[in-house]
Structure 1
């Protein structure tokens, strides 16, 4: 497992580095294989961020992360 700061996570946005990672509830997920996150963007959301607070406005529940294994933790 890896531990990243918010600044380190911010680089994994599909633009600055090829990784497409987000944080949710303290866990980091690699969404690079998701067809919904091409180029680091999913609707109005960008990779490289903690999306915990933004889930309340999403049309889906937190169960969407069940299909992804966490790869690390946000420091």
Structure 2
């Protein structure tokens, strides 16, 4: 699985790039085709971010991510630079 930094994830916000990606517990999911994430926004949440902490307040469980393709792993910039 390919690795991405937070900066690379941030570009997949549905506006800077057409992809709509979010991370949850270190895995990045492609939500591009979700009708609930049009223009990179879902209620008060924005694509291109790690939503791990925000899921605690969501009306659904993490099982929602099972519907979507995992496209990569979220790594920190130092790990990326050391490759």
* TM-score, scaled relative to structure 2: 0.88
Please state if 1:2 is matched with 2:2.
yes
Gaps of 5+ in 1: none
Measure, in 1, the Cα distance between the counterparts of 2:69 and 2:11.
Answer: 20
| Moved >2 Å (runs of 4+) | none
- Residue 74 of structure 1 and its aligned partner are, at CA, apart by 0.2
Tell which structure's C-alpha radius of gyration is larger: 2
Measure, in 1, the Cα distance between the counterparts of 2:13 and 2:28.
Answer: 12
Measure, in 1, the Cα distance between the counterparts of 2:28 and 2:22.
Answer: 6
Measure, in 1, the Cα distance between the counterparts of 2:73 and 2:36.
Answer: 22
Aligned residues: 75
Gaps of 5+ in 2: 76-83
Of Structure 1 and Structure 2, which has the larger fraction of its residues in helix? 2
Q: CA RMSD in A?
A: 0.6
Equivalent in the alignment of 2:28: 28
5 Å matches for 1:1-75?
1-75=1-75
